[in-house]
Structure 1
């Protein structure tokens, strides 16, 4: 079951489409990575899913029900979110902030203690939030978002501004939520490395349009493998390959070929040597995930 679906979602400001005909499919109890460069339309999309802004066209389905003005509040009772930056009262303690949020949802101390424990803020709950580090404030925002174990958690760039230790903590928490609580997590980021380490399914948005959506493994499968060779005479080697109808291209001091079977590599080596061309180096190359993203987004994704 898809917890979230959008149908040809569009948001237009003036004559500019910030989001255009976007159809997402977020499966249940998975981490869905919503990836794209800054300004691609990620936050706008998440706000439309939450009903914070109205789409110019298209629709949103949550938990199998089309969301409209009548059922929006009832559907959002099962949704936790952290959009852009956490909201908090700096003069109150972490615990007092949690109590305020819990009362609005009709929740008690048991749920508060569970959420604080999940984000490792139990020992700092009695400190004023204005004394918290940036990472602690981010974790407090997450604690508020997961109060009461919502079925869906929507996070917009939750690791922005954190140091490596803070990023690691948030990452581990997000990965654990589907397993520990059966939550579905929809997380946006412009950082490829973060999504690669957290997500089960990936959607890539660029200039408001969804250009890829599938399992993370399918994205890795787009990697192009090649054989790189360097010889004592690359020019002559290239002519020999062309005559043998083997496609190749030059890359600095190497000739790049499509990946060959081992027996074909051995035969190629023998042919080169027989023609007096020394084989200095031969190696396999594979496109990195960064290369794939640069290719499908036209070089726009921040890495």
Structure 2
């Protein structure tokens, strides 16, 4: 990648923070979108839930990456929280897409990478799916459909638009694995429900590398599943965590308990998503940590 000016929304999050560090380490100029008054020239004001962004601050950027949005798994899905999830993702994406479309052709970025999720596919059971599969049913699939659809103004303006549909990111701090590591290190880890549900994981290293790959390749657009090539069941992942961390994995969390504690969100934990990164592999991307044990070790 030639040295570029890249704007990142969600730069304080797990993936956004890692992406910013990676870009900065390679000498790229990073512009952060912030929800407060900018304090320096490398910050641009925006309000994702309010649907506004300072478009002038994005002029001249080579790429815009949107990784913003409230954490899907941080709390119970009350109606109020589901509305917040929708506002941040759909309205935030629409604001950025409209801002990019409002710029002159000379000022527009060459690519808009808008974060997405494998929640698009809903429950797949043991059936493997790739990007050719249709959207599933339920809250998350409908959210992702609207989230990606909100990028239409940028696409219609001729900006190459890419949707990295991210799986469960294996990282020591943040995301689902950020809550799993302390449990397993304390010897309290174990399978969830019957353990037969597929978890489509990806290491944080490969997540960042995939986003940069999507930025760099001018011929890539549309959805790309960002998941390791071989999804595993919750039971298999539990056993791998035990081996790598040298801890017992005797505990189990019954499905009824998860449903009581997590409410509707339990479906995301107990549900099975066997998602394959077909288009990413076809584009020539190589995973550094394609297997779960390597991904766990990289996150330790």
TM-score by length of 2: 0.29
**The structure with more helix, counted as a fraction of residues:** 2
Ranked by relative contact order (alpha carbons within 8 Å, sequence separation 6 or more), the top structure is 1
Q: Which has the larger Rg?
A: 1
**The structure with more strand, counted as a fraction of residues:** 1
